[in-house]
Structure 1
Amino acid sequence: MTIEFCAINKPEDWMEMVAEQFGTSVTDNGFSVPPSVGSGFFKQYYPLPWLTLTYISFVAYEPMTMIRRSVENSKWIPVMFYINEHKHEQIIGTSTKTVGIDTLDGIFMPSSSIPTEWSFPPKRRYENITLTFNKDWLRKMDMAHESYIGRLLHSDKAFYLFETITPAMQQILDGIKSIAEGDALFSALHLHGKAIELLTMFLEKLEKRSEVKSLSNLNLNDVEAVFRVRRRILQSLGNVPSIPELASEANMSSSKLQKCFKQVIGKAIAEYALSEKMEWAKRLLSTRLYSVSEVGYKVGYANLSHFTEAFHKYHRIKPKQFLDSL
């Protein structure tokens, strides 16, 4: 089954568009997945005129693909939080990535001009919470154009951003699920507060990108090149290639690659490689199959004290203490 949609003038129209392809209709700002297709629901809430909260939870009996077609100049910007336990594939052009709640790409915010699609395996629950805001509202909030998001939206350049779901965000997302699935008094008011809090947390996290002084006008080739570089880093964590080597593979200058990588992934290349290396080290230690020195060597450290220092700085615990705590 394939569901196609695009950014539209009103979030309500999106729900109608998707419901029709499921062979059903919208009632009370949502719809249930027909039993012939699967189980679950799509639901939208409207905390404010410029903000929509969408909660999706469904299981499909057959493989499903959802395709987001590109359009130009949509005023609505989605911030998608992948909260499903099972990972699924997200595809941009010829690049495929695996995303889920515990990946470094648990959140993504695309402009309307870059298409993407998602593939869901059958009989596995997919859950997503999306905040969709009107960029004209945010532009008014940032009259001086000083914030990162303000500069991004005022530039009118194509973008595709990824972020990580923090523990604090996870608590809010769990709260939204609990409220939406219940029938408590003042639930709409509670969802209003949770949606505002979640959006604020996301924008504050995004602001950490503010050291990117100029914004690249990303096209699909740029995004695919960033993903190729990301994949190469993940394949070579024990000996990460130099930035000139990665730039050559991406067919970009070193400066352009670093700017595009930071804009898409949200971290500088060196910072991203270190974070993945430290997460890998933690996973290796968690198996209890390796000593601290063996893990340090596997992730590329010839000097044990350098590995210990890097692990402690990233995880706030020394690797030996972490191993002993298991």
Structure 2
Amino acid sequence: MGQKIYPFSRYTFFITLVLHVEAVLPMKSYIRIRKGSNLIEDLSTEFYNVSTSDAVNLPSSLGSGKIRGLYFPSDLSLYLGKYHLIVPWQQETINEKDSTTFCISASIMSNEISIKKDGEWLKTNYNGPNSVLFYSYGSSVEVAYPQNEPLKTITITFTSATVSAIMDQPDVLNGLDPISPFLYLDEAVPEAETLIRKLACIGGESEPSKFEIYLAVLNLLRLTLYRSFVIKERYNSSGLLKEDAEKMFAIRKKLMENSHQTIKIAELAAEVGMGQSKMTRLFKQVFNRTLYQFAQKAKVIKAKDLLNSRNYNVSQAGYMVGYTNMTHFAKAFKKYYKVNPGDYLKRVLGDKISS
């Protein structure tokens, strides 16, 4: 069977060599995840660089920075990248069928990356760790990063043995025994963002202890597995038709892309060809929040993206996502991110790459 692409997520690691021509076109390169492999060793081969047991430098033709590996019990590994690219960076990561390895990956940057899906490049607006990739063995993912962007990446690799040692949730264990390869793409909820940013700080002045790092990795792993398998299983087992589920995700996408607009239930229902009461009921069933709750969430997520870009102040961001009362905007932002937008912007401006 072919690789499935779901709206939920798993993360992965991507790296690329580039060729300097007039248009600065990226040159395709590959990383293969093999059973028992170490990504640092694989990257050193790809980069033609000598590595230590836990780090490899980027080639100077690509930019500056390095990727570091941290290793924990039960096949659990964390790979951290911190670099500045001087050319576009494109990479296909191939997770071989017999690797038995799962990958979770996220990035922190101030611009966009592109993910190749169904043969077409799609822009994903990161502006911080807003998306997470989670994929299985037997699958592959292709990602392109822009040049002149400071960038941090985290990648977690693990096996089913890693999870069975710490979790006994049946839906999770079943999900880690897939019939066919999968790749999930999911938003990073606030709890996940906090963990991603904590891990991205490793190597800085406020580096957490290895025990704290281990706990953060386990918590991010737990959260990703729960969102990918347990929540998904809730609506799969509820008798929800695939066609209806696809309509719910189409509505979700529309709300995210039009966060500045006022939600109109009648128009949404007509657009997807569904009754209003059925649409609102199914949306709550799938996403565990009402349409209005999700619309407010979409507004503050977009506002956070605008603040992360460093191009807008708090009032501008609030107005751009549809708020006319800045007190209401600040209250909604703080409800979701546990910090008011003014303090959040100060934090962003004080950090070169939104970490």
Q: What does residue 220 of structure 1 align with? A: none
How far does residue 56 in structure 1 lie from its aligned partner after superposition?
Answer: 1.4
Q: What does residue 75 of structure 1 align with? A: 100
- Aligned-partner SS, 1:197: helix
The answer to whether the aligner puts 1:31 opposite 2:56 as a matched pair is yes
The aligned length equals 292
- Aligned-partner SS, 1:141: coil
> 1 or 2 for the larger relative contact order (CA 8 Å, sep ≥6)?
2
Q: How do 1:31-180 and structure 2 match up within 5 A?
A: 31-69=56-94, 71-72=96-97, 74-93=99-118, 94=120, 96-100=122-126, 102-105=128-131, 107-143=132-168, 145=170, 149-156=172-179, 158-162=182-186, 163-164=188-189, 166=191, 168-169=194-195, 172-178=198-204
Q: What does residue 215 of structure 2 align with? A: 196
Q: What does residue 236 of structure 1 align with? A: 258
How far does residue 127 in structure 1 lie from its aligned partner after superposition?
Answer: 1.6
Cα offsets for 1:211-259 (capped at 9, x unmatched): 443576xxxxxx999986655333433145766556569xxx979x969
Cα offsets for 1:176-213 (capped at 9, x unmatched): 2327x98xxxx9xx335413333224514753674443
Q: 1:79·1:108 contact (CA, 8 Å) conserved in 2? A: yes
The answer to whether the aligner puts 1:213 opposite 2:233 as a matched pair is yes
Cα distance change of structure 1 residues 311 and 37 upon mapping to structure 2, 3 Å threshold: closer
Structure 2: where are the runs of 5+ without partners? 1-17, 19-27, 237-244, 346-355
Cα distance change of structure 1 residues 279 and 56 upon mapping to structure 2, 3 Å threshold: closer
Task: Measure the CA separation in 1 of the matches of 2:290 and 2:29.
Answer: 35
How far does residue 10 in structure 1 lie from its aligned partner after superposition?
Answer: 2.3
Cα distance change of structure 1 residues 159 and 41 upon mapping to structure 2, 3 Å threshold: closer
More helix by share: 1
Amino acid at match of 1:92: K
Task: Measure the CA separation in 2 of the matches of 1:45 and 1:168.
Answer: 19
Provide TM-score, normalisation by structure 1.
0.66
How far does residue 175 in structure 1 lie from its aligned partner after superposition?
Answer: 4.2
Cα offsets for 1:36-70 (capped at 9, x unmatched): 44221122121224111111123333222011236
Task: Measure the CA separation in 1 of the matches of 2:87 and 2:271.
Answer: 39
Cα distance change of structure 1 residues 174 and 75 upon mapping to structure 2, 3 Å threshold: same
- Aligned-partner SS, 2:29: strand
Provide TM-score, normalisation by structure 2.
0.62
Structure 1: where are the runs of 5+ without partners? 217-222
Amino-acid identity (%): 14
Say which of 249, 259, 275 aligns to 2:297.
Answer: 275
Q: 1:52·1:131 contact (CA, 8 Å) conserved in 2? A: yes
Moved more, 108-117 or 48-57: 108-117
Cα distance change of structure 1 residues 35 and 229 upon mapping to structure 2, 3 Å threshold: same
